[in-house]
């Protein structure tokens, strides 16, 4: 997209529009190596290299913060070498390179944050900041109270001790129960492993919110931009100032500037968030075939079209996950 040079300079924070006009008139602005003194000159922030007083102008991009209601049946990665459905299909309209904050398993559903703000993402995932993660877990039958108490007392898992901060029965549905489990870290399959360790058969896993940002009002497969106050809350709870950064770090330069060797390379996204088969085996999970490919486009999801709701939990501040799910043994993680 092209825009007038003085507007480009103003929105890049170089100077006010009037001052920018003075800079242009004074011959202090170069576009692609040539001095430009004409006011109406059009520039494309993505292509043209604009230099003021010998310094390339950085494009100020606002950091993006999105909340996705992840449906089951997709992996939390932006590209999957095995070609399975990924969360990326639900973010096709997002131009920026956002990456997920933590992960949800293939079959898990609910709140998943995405951002370009690597600093905040790292802090949200870091146990040091003690972000609580609340899950509603559908388990087979009626858990005995002792099972939930053991989860809270602490257990030894194969990768060390672990515990739930809270574990309570949330709701009983037909022959099964929804339990509410709160944990303080994001270790892989932690909630499922805690449940299994106390003899609970997990049928479904739903995360109604993350960092206090709820999926209430969103349909599975849909996402929304966080409100500024939500970003401020996340930043404060992560030990950062409440102010949103005006740009990602490092600032993204126009492609032309990067071609000319200005600026650091863009950060690499975190490694694919797919559990390797070796890890699955170490958890005693039999090697599985590829997850079945189902119609997972948002529009193909019957739940997105107001399909019949199944008996879900009644999470506070979030609609229960809806839609019919196959239950019972053989479900994948
Ligand atoms: N714990 C799990 O077992 N799975 C998830 O997806 C998240 C937490």
The CB of 104 under 6 Å from ligand 1? The reply is yes
Looking at residue 71, what is its pLDDT? Answer: 98
Residue nearest to atom 4 of ligand 1 (CA): 189
Lowest mean pLDDT among 72-81, 125-134, 135-144: 125-134
Ligand 1 atom closest to residue 193's alpha carbon, by position in its atom list: 3
Average pLDDT over residues 299-313: 38
Residue nearest to atom 7 of ligand 1 (CA): 104
Average pLDDT over residues 172-201: 96
Q: What is the maximum alpha-carbon separation in the chain?
A: 79
Lowest mean pLDDT among 115-129, 279-293, 301-315: 279-293
Task: List Cβ<8 Å contacts ≥24 apart for 120-126.
Answer: 120/63, 120/65, 120/234, 120/235, 120/238, 120/240, 123/238, 123/239, 123/240, 124/210, 124/211, 124/234, 124/238, 125/101, 125/186
Average pLDDT over residues 121-126: 86
Q: Which of 137, 190, 194 to mutate to test the pocket of ligand 1 (most atoms within 8 A of CB)?
A: 190
Q: Which CATH class is domain 2-56?
A: alpha beta
How many angstroms is it from 224 CA to the middle of ligand 1? Answer: 22
Is the pLDDT assigned to residue 146 strictly greater than 60?
A: yes
Q: Which residue has the higher pLDDT, 323 or 243?
A: 243
Looking at residue 11, what is its pLDDT? Answer: 65
Q: Which residues are catalytic?
A: 105
| CA-based radius of gyration for the chain | 24
Residue range 63-74, pLDDT digits in tens: 899 999 999 999
Measured distance CA(5)–CA(24) in Å, rounded:
8
Q: Which of 162, 191, 202, 204 to mutate to test the pocket of ligand 1 (most atoms within 8 A of CB)?
A: 191
Write down the CATH number for the domain with range 132-207.
Answer: 3.30.2350.10
What the block records as the tokens of 247 is 């740009």
Phi, psi dihedral angles at 277 (to 5 degrees): -60, -35
> Which of 3-7, 191-195, 210-214, 274-278 ranks highest by mean pLDDT?
191-195
208 pLDDT band, cuts 50/70/90, is very high
Residue nearest to atom 3 of ligand 1 (CA): 189
To which residue do tokens 């949103």 refer? Answer: 244
What the block records as the tokens of 257 is 């500037």
Do the two domains 60-131+211-248 and 132-207 of this chain adopt the same fold?
no
Q: Where are the domains of the chain?
A: 2-56, 60-131+211-248, 132-207
How many angstroms is it from 105 CA to the middle of ligand 1? Answer: 6
Is the pLDDT assigned to residue 123 strictly greater than 70?
A: yes
Write down the CATH number for the domain with range 60-131+211-248.
Answer: 3.30.70.580
Please, is 33 exposed, middle or buried when counting C-beta atoms within 10 Å of its C-beta (0-12, 13-18, 19+)? exposed
Measured distance CA(254)–CA(259) in Å, rounded:
9
Closest C-alpha to 193, from 165, 163, 169: 163
Cross-strand pairs, 65: 115
The CB of 202 under 6 Å from ligand 1? The reply is no
Ligand 1 atom closest to residue 194's alpha carbon, by position in its atom list: 3
Looking at residue 324, what is its pLDDT? Answer: 46
What is the overall mean pLDDT for the chain? 77
End-to-end CA distance of the chain: 44
The CB of 192 under 6 Å from ligand 1? The reply is yes
Q: Which of 69, 196, 205 to mutate to test the pocket of ligand 1 (most atoms within 8 A of CB)?
A: 205
């Amino acid at each position: 997209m092209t825009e007038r040079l003085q507007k480009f300079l103003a929105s890049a924070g170089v100077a006010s529009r009037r001052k920018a006009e003075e800079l242009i008139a004074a011959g202090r602005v170069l576009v692609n190596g040539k001095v430009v003194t004409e006011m109406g000159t059009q520039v494309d922030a993505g292509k043209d290299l604009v230099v003021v007083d010998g310094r390339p102008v950085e494009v100020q991009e606002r950091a993006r913060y999105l909340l996705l209601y992840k449906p089951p049946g997709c992996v939390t990665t932006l590209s999957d070498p095995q070609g399975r459905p990924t969360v990326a299909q639900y973010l096709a309209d997002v131009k920026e390179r956002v990456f997920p904050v933590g992960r949800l398993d293939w079959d898990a559903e609910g709140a998943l944050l995405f951002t370009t703000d690597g600093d905040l993402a790292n802090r949200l995932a870091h146990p040091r900041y003690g972000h609580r993660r609340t899950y509603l877990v559908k388990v087979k039958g009626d858990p005995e109270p002792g099972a939930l108490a053991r989860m809270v007392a602490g257990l030894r898992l194969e990768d060390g001790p672990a515990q739930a901060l809270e574990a309570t029965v949330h709701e009983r549905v037909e022959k099964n129960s929804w339990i509410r489990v709160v944990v303080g870290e994001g270790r892989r399959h932690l909630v499922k492993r805690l449940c299994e360790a106390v003899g609970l058969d997990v049928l479904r896993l739903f995360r109604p919110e993350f960092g206090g940002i709820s999926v209430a009002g969103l349909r599975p497969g849909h996402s929304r931009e966080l409100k500024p106050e939500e970003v401020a809350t996340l930043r404060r709870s992560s030990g950062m100032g409440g102010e949103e950064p005006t740009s990602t770090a490092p600032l993204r330069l126009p492609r032309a500037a990067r071609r000319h060797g200005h600026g650091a390379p863009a950060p690499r996204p975190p490694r694919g968030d797919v559990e390797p088969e070796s890890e699955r085996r170490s958890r005693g999970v039999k090697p599985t075939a590829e997850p079945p490919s189902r119609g997972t486009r948002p529009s193909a999801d019957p739940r997105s079209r107001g399909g019949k709701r199944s008996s879900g939990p009644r999470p506070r501040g979030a609609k229960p996950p809806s839609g019919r799910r196959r239950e019972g043994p053989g479900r994948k993680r």
